[in-house]
């Protein structure tokens, strides 16, 4: 049991040093880590990490880092969240479509860890909605954002 946990910690450290080091923003990490999870099973997959450690250790390490990113986002001041969201949207090919989809489909709702605390999730969703509205206001002229709403 202890050896298994040590393996997970090593895998998580490896993940932070390699893959996550290329993603400096917490929001980017959060979205990336959520995307490594199978929506049907809730299991996380990462080929490189599984090859270096084991599929189980990789899954646990990804889940740990995902929870960590989630908690950081929940505790993040609104100003920082807006900056991260603005930078994330700017890195996308179609910022206007992005805002429209995030407002409509709210894909961030399925990006939270499986056993996330319900109140923390509720707070994060609320903060996402406000941050998105602020970014939208900055990127799009007022009459356009009214049409999109």
Q: What is the binding site for other proteins (CB under 8 A)?
A: 74-79, 82, 117-120, 122-123, 126-127, 129-130, 133-134, 137, 142
Nearest to other proteins of 63, 74 (CB atom): 74
Q: Minimal distance in Å, beta carbon 120 to other proteins? A: 7
Q: Minimal distance in Å, beta carbon 112 to other proteins? A: 13
**Nearest residue to 29 via CA among 96, 79, 102, 87:** 87
- Rounded CA separation 13/88 (Å): 24
Nearest to other proteins of 65, 76 (CB atom): 76
Nearest to other proteins of 49, 112 (CB atom): 112
- Rounded CA separation 21/91 (Å): 17
Q: Minimal distance in Å, beta carbon 75 to other proteins? A: 4
Residue 140 · residue 148 · CB < 8 Å = yes
Residue 95 · residue 89 · CB < 8 Å = yes
Greatest pairwise CA separation for the chain in angstroms: 59
Nearest to other proteins of 36, 127 (CB atom): 127
């Amino acid at each position: 049991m202890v050896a298994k946990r040590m393996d997970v910690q090593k895998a998580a450290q490896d993940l932070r040093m390699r893959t996550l080091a290329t993603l400096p923003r917490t929001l980017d990490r959060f979205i990336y880590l959520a995307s490594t999870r199978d929506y049907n099973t809730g299991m996380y997959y990462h080929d490189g990490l599984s090859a270096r450690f084991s599929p189980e250790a990789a899954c646990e390490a990804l889940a740990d880092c995902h929870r960590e990113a989630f908690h950081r986002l929940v505790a993040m001041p609104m100003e920082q969240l807006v900056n991260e969201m603005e930078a994330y949207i700017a890195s996308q090919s179609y910022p206007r479509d992005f805002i429209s989809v995030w407002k409509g489909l709210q894909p961030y709702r399925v990006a939270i860890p499986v056993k996330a605390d319900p109140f923390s999730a509720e707070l994060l969703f609320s903060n996402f909605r406000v941050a998105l509205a602020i970014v939208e206001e900055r990127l799009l002229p007022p009459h356009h954002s009214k049409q999109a709403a």
